[in-house]
Structure 1
Amino acid sequence: MTSNSAPRHHGRLELTWTDKDKTLLSIMDGRYDYTFVDPSDYRVSEVRLLHEVGRVEAPTPTEDAEGLPSPTYDNLLISGDAMHVLDALAKIPAYAEKYLGKVKLVYIDPPFNTGQAFTHYEDNIAHSVWLTLLRDRIRQIRPLLAEDGSVWVHLDHMESHRCRVVLDEEMGETNFVAEVAWQKADSPRNDTKLLSTSQDVILVYRKSEAWTPNRMPRLAASNTSRYQSRDGDPIPWRDGDATAGKAATNHPMVYAIQHPVTGGLMYPTPGRCWGKAQSWMLEQMLEYAPYELRDIGDETERARICGTTADKVKPGVPAIMLSVPLEKAAALAKTRYEAGRWPDIVMLDLNKERIQRKKHLEDNGRVPETLWLGKEVGGNLRGKNEIRDLFPDEHPFATPKPEALLARIIHIASRPGDIVLDCFAGSGTTAAVAHKMNRRWVTSELQADTVNRYTLPRLTKVVNGQDPGGVTTSTERISAVGDDEDGGGTLPAGMTPDEAHEFNRLLAKVVKAAGPEIDDTTIKALKTATKTKSVMTVNWHGGGGFTHLRVGESMFVEMEEMVLLADWATQGALAEAMCAQLSVPYKPEGIFAGRQGRVRYVVIDGMVGEGTVAAILDRLAQGEVVEVWATQIEDGASEALKAARRGSRLELIPDKVLDNYRRKSTHKSPFGTGRLATVPVVEVAGDGKAAASVS
């Protein structure tokens, strides 16, 4: 019995937390320290400018890098809060043109994923801070993603369960792709009181169904042991099931195929059907002997296969039957079998009533899996060693990620030339690997000290070809049988180079334990037959470049509970800042700061009266309208502009700018509904500074 007072819930599952309707603001410049504010607060709504700090560039050493893709040059390292960085990329037209809807891969390993940034918060507030900050960044990231893009969020066990629900809300639960388990440690921590954690989690979400993962290279073991060419086929293959799927009650792909040697009838196994169209199956069987389609009235047997009764299966489905006497068909089938290069339908034993289908070794590799072992992509220890090699005099990060881990993510989720974004750069691993793999990249880091000590120097070394670690090189074990100089000999059938290497290692232990009981000639023969060597390939030689930017200061300051323009926001600087707020390309042309379609924009740091309005209109072409933003407005000026040129308007800085933020503070997720709370309008100063006048 249900109480009438029990709350009713409608719609999808949603995670709630304290101050979820607010957003977070970093209140300590260059530090992870936050306070909850209303989304209309100008400090989070303002679009900050990005200022160039420097440029790092190096030519491609073509003589060393022959055959490798060209390095990328159009990359960005940005110093500043990710909140401002992501807004700038999406809303400043010069950057939005390059990045809005065009980022292929976003990887974030938030510095707050273990909560170390929030140790001074109470537990319940810490969770709220963590979730709000992550939610806010995902909301900013999503518009930057290409339709075939994906987001990879790296987490530990502390928040992954809650994060999954938030990502479902923001990205759409149908866009969840996978939860990857990365083995970060290969041995337990004995000082752990409960269970020692060996893995991190990486949650993968796609922007839309347009996303598909790139395949991984096939394992050496699957290349040699599972795929062979027993019939002389130039492409190795293995025998696979000729049936597929689940047979429906009236499935048209459940029928008999007559064996060319025994004459028996072959059907799919119960509950299944043939895996290819009947026309294809007939074409394959015609390689062995003459066949035809013929109705043999086998509804009862087909019904048994489908798990139903004869009256419910599709009537008149023909069988693939021999069209010549069995003796002749058998002779033809044996001749075809002995000729080799069998068709894709194979009978490994001509006397058994069983057909199989060739599964060729494809070039497109294997499907990515969700368990990533440390021996394949490295663990935290390898990541620390890579940082230590780059910066021997510095203390490495607590949990740096190895380059091989990022290389796998970047390989699966992007291609050369695609854009990779990481808005929590840290030591710069994502950007470093993306650069070495010939991707374009954007990365940002809040803490200036981290940028100066790690991120900038590391990426500079990558461009200059001075970073020999990580994925710069790769090693491969190959056969050295029969040729001590170049390798290239053949190992025993079905044995991979790694298996041969392990065999030699174990053989040495056996020989040591057994002593003289094993014949030296036998030992030498075994070693010779399984000899391997390690070969190193250089994947990166330097080249390319990036621009170092920093997030600019706010165009506003607070003074005695009023919001005023900052001292730097004058004349041209004010015009550029205002164009950023309006998402208008800043392209000064005479009195105009920019234009969009038929709308012109004028920004004036000073008083605008009717005379100024008339001067502006004199410079306006027929059919154009104008938006004028000014720090001071005389009475009657706004009305005069509207009357003289319909559709034009005159607005006050900063009052109307702040009003715009409040109007835009409603966020509606494409996967949920809801309005963020707002606060009463803050009174702002309406007077400004003298500026260039329009004559």
Structure 2
Amino acid sequence: MEKMDGKTMDIVAENVGKLKELFPEAFTEGKVDFDALKEVLGTFVDDRDERYSFTWNGKSKARMIAQTPSTGTLRPCKEESVDWDTTQNIFIEGDNLEVLKLLQKSYHKKMKMIYIDPPYNTGKDFVYKDNFKDNIKNYKEITGQVDGEGRNLSNNPETSGRYHTDWLNMMYPRLKLARNLLKDDGVIFISIDDSEASNLIKICDEVFGEENFIADLIWQKKFSRANDASYFSTMHDHILCYAKRTKLNNNGDSWELKLLPRGDEIPDGYTNPDDDHRGPWTSVVLSAKSGTEKLIYEITTPSGRKCLPPDGRFWGVNRDRFSELVEDNRIWFGKDGSGIPRLKTFLSEVQDGLRPNTIWFHQEVGHNQEGRQEVKKLFDDKGYFDGPKPVRLLDRIIQISNLSSSDIVLDFFAGSATTGHAVVNHNACNETSFKYILVQLPEVCDEKSEAFKAGYKTIAEISKERIRRAGAKIKEENPEYEGDLGFKVFKLDATNIKPWEVDFDLTERTLEDYISNIKTDRREEDVLYEVLLKYGLDLTLPIDEWIMDNGKLIMKDEHHSQLSTVNSQLVYSIGMGALIICLSDAISLEVVEGIAELKDELNPEIMRVVFKDSGFKDDVVKTNAVQILKQAGIVDVRSL
């Protein structure tokens, strides 16, 4: 029976495995032979000392941090959640670097759209201090969960010698991990201001590929002039847009922008001067730069004027096709009927929508003050955030991202949780069913702030309360709406599995502690969700509970709740039997046989089973358990 450890997916090992599949000849005794790899790659290798590149102090370490497995886990927090049993939305409280690592297996290529609003590095916002050796410990220190140095989330003033470097080292590994989570036809939007826009473009070019750059969108965040500005009154932010793949550079799945609804707007240049029944139209030249002699012929206009194509050009259609177009009233000769013929193009026959402009004015998508007012309305006229993004801005991004039913939107710098608010609001207004995953660091609120005085100790607490209230408001205004307004809360913590770090001076109590390698302060459901992450399963999959009753496993319900207290041999079924987990003590062969019977009852394509290593009555039961399950066709059996 194979044992599971407390680490996440090893990204380096995964990548090396892929490299070995592509270039087996570049490996010697399991190691990469770089000379052989260079020979295989030929002219694609650039090993010149001087070449175009973007680098900074700490880049190699930042890349390594992104590839280092996490020893953390996500612990469920039902008491802070809304509609735990049914919701498909997730709010995760924790350091987004570690959380992104933990999501790598379960949500690899699952996100259709990512939006983030990271620290702008203005000198006043903080930059995460990542610890290469143990970022979980670092996370607990900076959020005040344990004593230690570095608990202060300090800002990054321009006087710092590492002003840009610290910010780049923070952003780079997070973007590397985020790319892994994007679908092949996914897209990412990143808000930023002028201070780091140029650097952000450079690292995004490297992470996502400069060929996948879509646009630098300009959002008008302010509508009034700041006359006390040193030089110019800054009224905009940037929103960088990168696709995982673009249709111009890839033959596979690629991101397609969704056009904005046209509504009643008629684009410039479209009119209907001849009252054509097909509606507004515009006209284009009928001549072309190249062609054959057959495309040079005389045309007589309705006024009797004779005309040929302009010098050096050809008609775009032959005589017969031209006659058909005239018959169909698709040729325009001008109001007086004597103009050079032009081809009519009808609005009804072109794209049914509008391509977004790269400048987004506040009248269309809102501004900072609007975002602030939205928060104040939800919190009894209290503004707990300085510059929250307006819901209309995120709604525009959701509109154009071309999401399909049940697609997931990720925001790992959740802040005021505008993204979550926008997703549920969009669903309620458009009958869609998009889902979200939000990640927010429990940054401690200043004791002098309005939020702290109101009882909110961290930014994450305000974020969660915002989406609770937003959901309640939507339900109040739409009583018949039955969409998903809930969210599951998870909190980052160290693994539930004890590391084997016993002192040489062993005591009886220490040995007893290590008989069970599950930490004593952890619940079964904590371990349950860690197993889901290790197997790469969605955190919102339905989980059924089965319990022994008269020698048979039956589905647990309210009637059996008291029975579960007496007989703790609980069996969890995830994904209709795709994964079975039993974390009980004193596991009997009766339970194991019940699991084997579940295989026939649920009939999953593959069933995997996980036990607690110390949960078996004895080694004989443990050995027989493996054989019983093997006979039932269950070969993937592991222990914690």
Matches within 5 A, 1:105-504: 105-112=113-120, 114-115=122-123, 116-118=125-127, 120-121=155-156, 123-208=160-245, 209=247, 210-218=254-262, 222=266, 226-243=269-286, 247=289, 255-256=296-297, 258-261=299-302, 262=304, 264-267=306-309, 280-285=321-326, 287=327, 343-349=329-335, 351-362=337-348, 364-415=352-403, 417=405, 418-438=407-427, 439-447=434-442, 449=457, 454-465=462-473
CA distance in 1, matches of 2:273, 2:191: 45
* Contact 1:601–1:627 (CA under 8 A) maintained in structure 2: yes
Paired residue total: 464
Partners in 2 of 1:543 and 1:129 — Cα distance? 42
In 2, Cα distance between equivalents of 1:461 and 1:385: 14
1:489-548: CA deviations, max 9, x gaps? Answer: xxxxxxxxxxxxxxxxxxxxxxxxxxxxxxxxxxxxxxxxxxxxxxxxx99978532223
After superposition, where does 1:46-61 map in structure 2 within 5 Å? 46-56=72-82
Q: Quick one: structure 1 residues 258 and 561, their matched pair in 2 at CA, closer, same or farther if it must change by over 3 Å?
A: farther
362-371 or 344-353, which deviates more: 344-353
Contact 1:46–1:581 (CA<8 Å) still a contact in 2?
no
Post-superposition offset of 1:354: 0.8
| 1:605 Cα deviation after fit | 4.0
Are residue 79 (structure 1) and residue 81 (structure 2) matched? no
Aligned to 2:630: 621
Contact 1:181 1:372 in 2 (8 A): yes
Deviation string 1:214-242 (CA, Å, 9 cap, x unpaired) is: 2224486636x743333232333233213
Moved more, 196-205 or 420-429: 420-429
Match for 1:234: what amino acid? H
* Aligned twin of 2:39: none
Shift of 1:380: 1.5
Residue deviations 1:468-498 (CA, integer Å, cap 9, x gap) = 9xxx9xxxxxxxxxxxxxxxxxxxxxxxxxx
Match of 1:549, SS state, is strand
| Residue type at the aligned position of 1:356 | R
CA contact (8 A) 2:95 2:492 kept: no
What is the distance in 1 between the residues matched to 2:536 and 2:83? 30
TM-score relative to the length of structure 2? 0.61
- The yes-or-no answer on 1:583 pairing with 2:578 is no
- The aligned residue for residue 63 of structure 1 is none
For the residues of structure 2 that align with 1:282 and 1:141, how far apart are their CA atoms? Answer: 57
Gap change, CA 1:600 and 1:430, over 3 Å in 2: closer
The 1:10/1:387 distance shift into structure 2, 3 A limit, reads: same
CA distance in 1, matches of 2:232, 2:294: 52
In structure 2, which of residues 485, 492, 496 is the aligned counterpart of residue 545 of structure 1? 485
Residues 580 and 436 of structure 1: is their aligned pair in 2 closer, same or farther, counting only changes over 3 Å?
Answer: closer
Unaligned runs of 5+ in 2: 1-46, 128-153, 248-253, 428-433, 444-456, 504-513, 538-577, 583-590
SS of residue matched to 1:621? helix
Corresponding residue of 1:18: 57
The answer to whether 1:604 aligns with 2:613 is yes
Q: Distance in 2 between matches of 1:553 and 1:106?
A: 24
Partner deviation per Cα, 1:614-651 (whole Å, 9 max, x = no partner): 33442242576456456xxxxxxxxxxxxxxxxxxxxx
Give the residue type in structure 1 aligned to 2:536: S
TM superposition shift of 1:355: 1.1
CA contact (8 A) 1:23 1:39 kept: yes
Q: Distance in 1 between matches of 2:614 and 2:161?
A: 46
In the TM superposition, residue 364 of structure 1 has moved relative to its aligned partner by 1.3
Letter in 1 for 2:421: A
Taking the aligned partners of 2:475 and 2:235, their CA distance within structure 1 comes to 29
Q: TM-score, normalised by structure 1?
A: 0.57
Change in CA separation of 1:139 and 1:415 when aligned onto 2, cut-off 3 Å = same
- Is the Cα contact below 8 Å between 1:52 and 1:548 reproduced in 2? yes
Deviation for aligned residue 1:384: 1.9
> Which amino acid in the other structure matches residue 340 of structure 2?
R
> In the aligned structure 2, how far is the partner of 1:238 from the partner of 1:621?
71
**How many Å apart are 1:202 and its aligned residue?**
0.5
Q: Distance in 2 between matches of 1:356 and 1:201?
A: 41
Q: Deviations over 1:309-352 (max 9, x none)?
A: xxxxxxxxxxxxxxxxxxxxxxxxxxxxxxxxx62222224642
3-state SS, counterpart of residue 22 of structure 1: helix
Counterpart amino acid of 2:325?
Answer: Q
Measured at CA, do residues 571 and 380 of structure 1 come closer, stay the same or move farther in structure 2, by a change above 3 Å? closer
Note closer, same or farther for the CA distance 1:253–1:377 as it changes in structure 2 (3 Å cut): farther
CA distance in 1, matches of 2:87, 2:226: 43
Distance between the aligned counterparts of 1:612 and 1:458, measured in 2?
Answer: 50
Instruction: Work out the CA distance in 1 between the residues paired with 2:276 and 2:336.
Output: 18
CA distance in 2, matches of 1:48, 1:278: 72
- CA offsets per residue over residues 277-309 of structure 1, 9 Å max, x none? 887545213x1xxxxxxxxxxxxxxxxxxxxxx
Query: Which of 474, 494, 514 does residue 554 from structure 1 map onto?
Result: 494
Letter in 1 for 2:464: L
1:163-205 CA-to-partner distances (Å, cap 9, x unmatched) read 1111111112111111101111233323332333221101111
- Deviation at residue 464 of structure 1 after TM alignment: 2.5
Give the superposition deviation at 1:113.
5.0
Distance across 1 between alignment mates of 2:311 and 2:370: 49
What CA deviation, in whole Å up to 9, does each residue of 1:341-397 have, x standing for no partner?
x62222224642411222322471221110112232222122222222222453342
Does the 8 A contact of 1:571 with 1:604 survive in 2? no
In 1, distance between residues paired with 2:519 and 2:404? 43
**Residues 616/459 of structure 1: CA separation in 2 closer, same or farther (3 Å cut):** same
Q: For the structure 1 residues 349 and 40, does the alpha-carbon distance in structure 2 shift closer, same or farther, using more than 3 Å as the test?
A: closer
CA distance in 1, matches of 2:54, 2:293: 47
Change (3 A) 1:40 1:166: closer
> Shift of the alpha carbon at 1:211?
1.6
Call closer, same or farther: CA 1:175–1:10 in 2, change over 3 Å.
farther
Aligned position for 1:649: none
Q: 8 Å contact 2:220–2:360 — kept in the other structure?
A: yes
The residue that corresponds to 2:561 in the other structure is none
5 Å-filtered alignment, 1:34-53, equals: 38=65, 44=70, 46-53=72-79
What letter matches 1:365 in structure 2?
A: G
